[in-house]
Structure formats: C-alpha cells, structure tokens
C-alpha cells in the first residue's frame, strides 16, 4: 500500500507544541499543550485505522468486504450510518460502496495502480450503490461484489472523534489535522495549498470560533499518470472528476460532513452542488480547473484571504 504524505491544507503551528505521526495513510498533526493528550489522539487514529481501513486485511471493513456480513463495532456502524446519510444529502454523489471502482478497477493506493478499460469500469459500476449495503442494529450486510471504501469520510470522522475526546478532557485550545481535514478548538490559522503550484498557498483562513472545521480535496492529491485520472471518482459513471482543481468546505464543527461532501461536490453539477451547500449553510472556496474561483460568504468569526 502506498502512503500519501502530501498536505492539501496545513495549520500554522504557532506554539511549537505540534507533533506528527503517520496514520490512516497520511500524516496526522496534533497541537496541544499536554503531550499525553497528543498520544491519546494518535492512539485513537491508530485504532480507527485498524477498524476502518480497506488496506489492512484484518480490519473490520476488510472482513466485511470479504464475508459480506459482519457484526461490527459501534464506531464502525456509526460511520457507515453517517455515510448513508451523506449519500442521501448528495443525491448519491457520495457513496462508500464505490470500492469496486477505487480499489478494484483503479487500484488506488496499491503498487499496481492502473487505468481500467471501459469493460472493467462497466463491470465495476454494477457493484456500486447504497442499496447494496444494509444495516440492522450492528449487523452490516453487503450484496456480493460490493466493496466498502471509507477514504472519502474516514479522516473527517476521525478528526471529529479526536476533537470530541479533547473537549471531554476539558481542552479549549488545540488543533487536529489529517491532511486536508482539520479541526480546531479555539483560534487557528489554516493555509490552503495552491492546486497549480505544489510549493505555494492560494488562501489563508483565520478562525476565532470555539470550534472550527475545514476540509480540502483536490485533483492533485492522488492520481494515475496525470490529474485527469484522479482519485475523485463519480460512483455513477466510474470516471474521475474534471470540474475542480481544489474544493474547500468550512463548517462550525462537523468534519465528517464536510469531508464527505467535499468529495460529493467534486462530481456534482455545479449549480446543484452550490444549492446543496447553501441549503446546509456550509461555506466554500471552489477552484475550477481553469483557475477561476467561487467563494461564498464566511461564518462570523472566520476570515479568508486570497
């Protein structure tokens, strides 16, 4: 399995108390005054990876994908239920049953990544759809051939759980960053990578909110051969998204939702995507592949400069 260490967004760590470890296929950064709590956050990410990874053969999700039925843990059931909720909100644009395409046809994250043929895509498409997964209590059942891939929601979900852990410990100032998914307690500053120049930044976001969430996704994160064949796959067509170079969503405290919806927006028709974001009162910075930008109003307490 390939581990992707590129950062789509980064936090300006001003206190010098930041630490970084590799989990869930990316770099996890934590800034807290109490280093023992940082260890608890890293432990949480490690345990979630053991449950939710499609790459680890002994994870709950891998076992579910193999056996098609499994009595899962509460944490796994919860993320699968949230995934179905995001599927409904996005009219199917976000779909965790996309694994037959991402893991099966394209092999993203593996050493044998390749561009699938049209017949391969057609066969994989037949195995995608939210109706192919059912949840009864803690028992999850899949139709044969279905592969669950939580790559579009897992890091946001993990950030939310980490922030909840810290809040329950009485922490009011801290930052947890999982590549493009960042959760802040208290004031923080986040820079968004320029999708056209890997060493630069295209925007800076400053939040003075008590709880702040930001998620960035882009066609430059993972791709095969070139950005045209990026990892943001339309579950309805099997094709990579071609609309946006970068998508940033901002919320007052829900990384799970904006992680999933950043993936969904990338493949949605633009007017429909913006209507959904406005209805949900989510702020956004969308950068089209031609470099033009669409920026919404920011919440009170959040300032973005380009």
Confidence of residue 114 (pLDDT cuts 50, 70, 90): confident
Are residues 112 and 159 located together in one domain of the fold?
A: no
Exposure on the CB side of residue 242, measured as CA atoms within 13 A: 5
Are residues 40 and 167 located together in one domain of the fold?
A: yes
Domain boundary among 94, 124, 142: 142
Paired strand residues for 135: 140
CATH code, 267: 3.10.520.10
Provide the number of structural domains found in the chain.
2
Is the pTM value of this prediction over 0.85? yes
Are residues 229 and 103 located together in one domain of the fold?
A: no
42 or 114, higher pLDDT? 42
- Looking at 31-153, list the stretches that DSSP marks H as alpha helix, in order from N- to C-terminal side: 35-52, 60-67, 74-89, 99, 118-125
Its domain, for residue 168, covers 9-48+152-305
User: By the 8 A CB rule, do 141 and 68 touch?
Assistant: yes
The strand ranges marked E within the chain are 9-11, 18-23, 26-31, 69-71, 133-136, 139-142, 174-178, 181-185, 188-193, 201-207, 211-218, 223-224, 226-230, 244-251, 283-288, 293-295, 302-305
Confidence of residue 107 (pLDDT cuts 50, 70, 90): confident
Are residues 68 and 119 located together in one domain of the fold?
A: yes
Are residues 222 and 119 located together in one domain of the fold?
A: no
CATH code, 130: 1.10.3980.10
Residue pLDDT, tens place only, 284-303: 999 999 999 999 999 999 99
Residue 1 covered by a domain = no
Residue 163 covered by a domain = yes
Are residues 65 and 130 located together in one domain of the fold?
A: yes
Domain boundary among 86, 115, 142: 142
Q: Given this model, what pLDDT does residue 47 score?
A: 97
């Amino acid at each position: 399995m390939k581990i992707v260490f590129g950062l789509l967004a980064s936090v300006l760590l001003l206190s010098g108390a930041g630490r970084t470890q590799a989990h869930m296929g990316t770099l996890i950064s934590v800034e807290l005054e109490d280093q023992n709590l940082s260890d608890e956050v890293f432990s949480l990410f490690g345990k979630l990876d053991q449950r939710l990874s499609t790459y680890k053969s002994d994870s709950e999700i891998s076992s579910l994908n193999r056996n098609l039925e499994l009595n899962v843990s509460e944490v796994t059931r919860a993320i699968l239920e949230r995934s179905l909720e995001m599927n409904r909100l996005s009219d199917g644009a976000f779909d965790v049953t996309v694994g037959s395409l991402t893991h099966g046809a394209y092999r993203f994250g593996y050493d044998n990544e390749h561009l699938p043929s049209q017949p391969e895509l057609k066969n994989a498409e037949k195995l995608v759809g939210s109706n192919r997964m059912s949840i009864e209590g803690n028992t999850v059942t899949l139709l044969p051939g279905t592969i669950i891939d939580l790559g579009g929601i897992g890091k946001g979900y993990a950030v939310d759980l980490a922030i909840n852990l810290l809040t329950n410990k009485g922490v009011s100032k801290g930052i947890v960053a999982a590549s493009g998914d960042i959760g802040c307690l208290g004031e923080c500053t986040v820079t968004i990578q320029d999708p056209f120049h890997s060493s630069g930044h295209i925007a800076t976001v400053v939040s003075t909110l008590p709880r702040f969430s930001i998620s960035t996704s882009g066609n430059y994160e993972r791709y095969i051969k070139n950005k045209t064949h990026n990892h943001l796959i339309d579950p309805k067509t099997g094709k990579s998204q071609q609309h946006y170079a970068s998508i940033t969503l901002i919320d007052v405290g829900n990384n799970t939702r904006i992680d999933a919806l950043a993936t969904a927006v990338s493949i949605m028709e633009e007017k429909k995507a913006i209507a959904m974001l406005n209805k949900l009162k989510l702020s956004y910075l969308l950068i089209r592949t031609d470099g033009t930008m669409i920026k919404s109003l920011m919440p009170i307490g959040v300032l973005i400069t380009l």
